[in-house]
Amino acid sequence: MLLRVLFYMIIHEKLIIYTDGGARGNPGPAALGAVVQTAEGKLVKTYSEYLGEKTNNQAEYEALIFALRKVKIYKPKEITCFLDSELVVKQLNAEYKIKDPDLGPLFIKVWNLKLDFEKVIFNHISREKNKEADKLVNQKLDQKI
């Protein structure tokens, strides 16, 4: 494992993460999924975690926060994040205001995590292009419910 971490720290300055968060019910039991890849598309690591009772939007933010914390060990300079939550992406890109008071602290966590990297890009993608992260969410929810 140590050699794998060193390999990505030395060779890869850019990582790509796909994240998804979902809740069954809104709020309801929630989980996150994250897929980390190199810029060349090689799989680095996948993650999933049960979150407890959350809204869909909270779960989306929690997924991104979780992934940004995890990729710190690889010390990338640049991270490109792909999320299927248009709301979260537009809030992070300052296109939408944050009206839900529960999302404000989560936004701040993401914003603070951005400081650990030279460049972080947030992109919205369709659910069809985020199937791996979505699958991780549903697998974790199926295990817990």
| pLDDT tens, residue by residue, 94-104 | 999 999 999 99
- Asked if residue 127 has pLDDT above 90, the reply is yes
Output the pLDDT for position 135.
98
Q: Which strands form 14-23's sheet, in the order they lie side by side?
A: 43-54, 28-38, 14-23, 78-83, 119-124
81: nearest Cα among 130, 139, 40: 130
Q: What is the mean pLDDT of the chain?
A: 93
Output the pLDDT for position 10.
47
DSSP state of 115: T
Q: Where are the beta strands (DSSP E) in the chain?
A: 14-23, 28-38, 43-54, 78-83, 119-124
Residue 8 pLDDT level (bands cut at 50, 70, 90): very low
Tokens read off for 88 = 């979260």
Output the pLDDT for position 1.
54
Find the mean pLDDT for residues 69-79: 95
Q: Would you list the domain boundaries of the chain?
A: 2-144
Report domain 2-144's class.
alpha beta
